[in-house]
């Protein structure tokens, strides 16, 4: 299996959560009742799975190996991806903070929750498309096939040492719960 295949499979999970977040944010915008904790849980998924596991694999493993094989960090796709990861972190913090205010009774925070959630979803959808269609094919071109096993081992280390045993599975369960709640 290619190292990029694992990342693309994780993209599909992230996209499922993005869909749930979009549905929930649109409900919130329309004035419907939506549990503020949904958005706090979504932020937990984003910070733990999308950022804590997935982006760690990209930033700590894949991007470093790509740089070793001549892909520049600045002025190319890696620099753009790193910048977008930071933008995603900012949206996630804003969504969590606004959801906590809403949970505390600040109805004015509804718009901020929806805006941050939809901003994050839009950013990530185009970000994922760039990675799937530009960055990952480039990685497959520049990283020798003989190094793929090493990447896979490094990904395993990220999953089990960095995030802890069973955490990946817990986030997959959280993704399913978020989807079910958004479907209502």
Closest CA to 42 of 16, 67, 5: 16
The answer to whether the beta carbons of residues 114 and 28 sit under 8 Å apart is yes
pLDDT digits (tens, 9 = 90+) for 117-172: 999 999 999 999 999 999 999 999 999 988 988 999 999 888 876 556 677 788 99
Residue 52: CATH number of its domain: 1.20.120.520
166: three-class secondary structure by DSSP: coil
On the 0-12 / 13-18 / 19+ scale of CB atoms within 10 A, 33 is: exposed
Q: How many structural domains does the chain have?
A: 1
**In this structure, is the dihedral angle defined by the CA atoms of residues 67, 73, 75 and 80, taken in order, positive or negative?**
positive
The answer to whether the beta carbons of residues 94 and 112 sit under 8 Å apart is yes
**CA-CA distance, 85 to 47, in Å (whole number)?**
11
**Residue range of the domain that includes 43:** 3-183
pLDDT digits (tens, 9 = 90+) for 11-45: 999 999 999 999 999 999 999 989 999 999 999 99
**CA-CA distance, 158 to 156, in Å (whole number)?**
5
The pLDDT, as a whole number, for residue 123 is 98
pTM: 0.94
């Amino acid at each position: 299996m290619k190292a990029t295949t694992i990342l693309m499979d994780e993209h599909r999970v992230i996209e499922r959560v993005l869909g749930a977040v979009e549905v929930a944010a649109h409900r919130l915008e329309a004035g419907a009742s939506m549990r503020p904790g949904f958005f706090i849980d979504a932020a937990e998924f984003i910070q733990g799975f999308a950022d804590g596991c997935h982006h760690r694999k990209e930033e700590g493993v894949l991007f470093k190996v790509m740089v070793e094989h001549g892909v520049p960090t600045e002025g190319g796709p890696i620099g753009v991806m790193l910048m977008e990861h930071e933008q995603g972190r900012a949206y996630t913090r804003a969504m969590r903070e606004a959801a906590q205010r809403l949970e505390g009774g600040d109805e004015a925070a509804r718009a901020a929750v929806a805006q941050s959630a939809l901003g994050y979803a839009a950013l990530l959808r185009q970000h994922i498309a760039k990675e799937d269609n530009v960055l990952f094919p480039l990685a497959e071109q520049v990283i020798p096939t003989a190094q793929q096993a090493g990447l896979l081992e490094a990904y395993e280390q990220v999953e089990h040492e960095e995030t802890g045993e069973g955490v990946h599975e817990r986030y997959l369960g959280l993704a399913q719960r978020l989807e079910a709640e958004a479907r209502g």
